[in-house]
Every structure is written in C-alpha cells, then in structure tokens.
Amino acid sequence: MEALDLHCQMILEEYREALPRLEQLKEDVLAKLHATLEQSGLIVTAIEARVKTEESLAGKLSRKGVKYTTLSDITDLVGARVITFYTADVDRIASMAEQLFEIDWQNSVDKRKLHELDSFGYNSLHYICKMPGYDFRFELQLRTTLQHAWAAINHDTGYKSGIEIPREYLRRINRLAGLLELADDEFSRIRTEITDYRRRVQNLVQKGQLDDVLLDGDTFASYLQAKPLDALNKRIAAINQAEIQDSPFSNYLAVLKALMCNTLGDVNRLIKRYEDDAYLLARHQLGNTDLDIISSAIGLQNICIVCILSSGGGKIGLERLFDALNGHNTHNEELAELTYKQALNLPFMNKQ
C-alpha cells in the first residue's frame, strides 16, 4: 500500500478518535435489528455487524481518499448484515429497516435490480442508513443465505469487480450466480406452496372432509389440533383422577401408516372404532394401581394396541408397535407378552 498523504492521515486520525462511538453505533444497530426481528417472529440465518478496521480504512483511503472530505463522508465505517433464508424476507426486512432508520436513498443500492443481461454477480440490497444521535452513517446489507455464499466465495477469489476477472472464469462465475438465483426462487416457491398446502389441509379438516386429506406429518398435526383424542384421554384420566401430561405424537405417524391409515378419514375411523375398547384396556391396566399421571399419548397408544390385537396381530404385532414407539430393543418382546396377557380377558379379544 502507498504511504497516505496528509489529508488521508488526518481522516485516519479522526477515525481513531471516533472508534468508541463507532463501536457504540454498531452495538445499537445490532440491538435494534435483533429486537425488531424477534418481535416480528421472522427467523433469519444471521445478524452480524462490524466496525471497519484501521487497515481496511487505510486501504480504502489509499485507493480513493481524495473522494472524502471528512471521516463522516465514508458510509461503511459500520456495516451490518442480515442474512435471510428467503428472498421475500429480504424485502420484509428492508421495509422494517425503513421504519427503524433514516435511509440515505441517494447512496443506497438495490443491486438485485441492477442486473441486466450482461451483468456480473449476484448481489444484495445495500442501504445507507442513519441512526438518531449519531453523525456517522452505516451500511446495512440484506441478502439471502445463497447470495451470501456466492458473495463470500466470490470475495475469496480476490477480484473486486467483473472487469478485473479473467474472461475464462467470468462465464463460469455468472453461471453459478444464475444457478443460485434459480435455487433462491425455487426455495421461495416451495415455501409458498407448503404454506398454501397447510392452509388447504386446515380448511379440509375444519370442514370434516378427512377422507380427502392424505396422512402425513403436516396433516396429522393439523388433525390433532382439533383434539380428537381428548375425550378418550379424559375418560382414561378419570379412572385414577390422573393428570394428563402433554406428549408428542410424532412416533405414531409410522404406526398409523402401518395400520393402513392412508388418510385422516382412516385415522378418524380407527379412533371411533376402537376408543371404547382402548378405554377398557386402560381401566383394566390402571384400575388397580394408584398411578395418577398419564401421557396424552395413552389414548392413541391403547387404540393401536386394541387394533393390533383385534385384527389378530398378536404378540408379534405388539412387539413391532413397541419397536416403533420405543426403538427396537430386546425387552419389547417381554413387554408385548405382558401386554398381551393383560388384554387376554378383555371383550375385544373374544370378538375375533
């Protein structure tokens, strides 16, 4: 790097004196961004900020120091960056930033819009902002995770602009930029479609059109929101005046599929068909104990046990059930044997 002239050295001295205020500005910007994003419920990959190092500033001054009259003419002394999952989130956060900070529109650039047919790179939204109480402006970059990956790797090549880059690499780098842009768009489209799908499913569940809804993790969660097992669980809890502890149902999805439930309608019929026998099984097991705490999964667990035994699945069927619920282990055979014996005299066993 060339030695700095007197003017640039004065700016550098000004920077040294301003450093504590720049650090404070960085902290305040970070705190505002964190608080606003937390309040909005928007989840992002990262929120980061830095104060330009003296070395980096000296480099900038040696290249274009003549442009700056004072330190406050430099707009990226403090830089903040929010990295999002989706392109639509960049726009949402941009709109939040417009409320939070004063935007210097003349110096802000939406590099995404600059791209023409012969454009280079895959860039982000850069706002130059001002925060009340500070003389210095700061730069806020908003980009998606893929944009960030591209920018970071491209930065690693050491080239500052498309003009510097050798032609043989330019085309390949542009191809990658295009690929990542397509991937970003596709991720956004998938998110939109998943949201639509969940809305459609909720609508069908609310209307009771359960046979139209295929059973999967999403649809099962939607179905459970209507608390179809509550009545059975409460009946079981009443046996010993037990409290009901919420438990996840995720392990039951595979079990229900193994029991030939393909739609929510199938699940609903399974519950209706076996809930009385599931209650009888619980009464038989818990009635002579003083166990006064049960899991919210007990109703569905007993429905599965009754379904397996009623349809002739026997001990092997129960062992497979416990394998699915508790992971495969050697004790499940013994557990299946015990449960089978307990159920042996119950009415549903004699319906076969």
Partner 1 sequence: MTTTIQENGNQVIAFFNGRLDTAAAVATTEAVKPLLGASNKEIILDCSQLEYISSSGLRIFLSIRKEAAAHSSKVIVRSISADIRQVFVMTGFISLFDIE
Contact footprint for partner 1 (CB under 8 A) = 242, 245, 247-248, 251-252, 282, 285-286, 289-299, 301-302, 322, 325-327, 329, 331, 334-335, 338-339
CB of 227 to partner 1, least distance (A): 16
Measure the CA–CA gap between 98 and 129, rounded to whole angstroms: 9
3-state SS assignment for residue 135:
coil
C-alpha distances (whole Å) from 209 to each of 109, 201, 217, 270 are 50, 9, 18, 16
C-beta of 170 vs 244, nearer to partner 1? 244
C-beta of 7 vs 234, nearer to partner 1? 234
CB of 251 to partner 1, least distance (A): 5
C-beta of 121 vs 299, nearer to partner 1? 299
Measure the CA–CA gap between 330 and 339, rounded to whole angstroms: 15
On the CB side of 86, CA atoms within 13 Å amount to 12
C-beta of 166 vs 248, nearer to partner 1? 248
Helix (H) or strand (E) holding 324, with range, is helix 314-326
C-beta of 77 vs 242, nearer to partner 1? 242
Phi, psi of 11 (to 5 degrees): -65, -40
CB of 177 to partner 1, least distance (A): 38
CB of 268 to partner 1, least distance (A): 20
Instruction: Kindly state the tokens that stand for 329.
Output: 């282990």
CB of 334 to partner 1, least distance (A): 5
C-alpha distances (whole Å) from 94 to each of 35, 39, 127, 152, 226 are 15, 15, 8, 21, 37
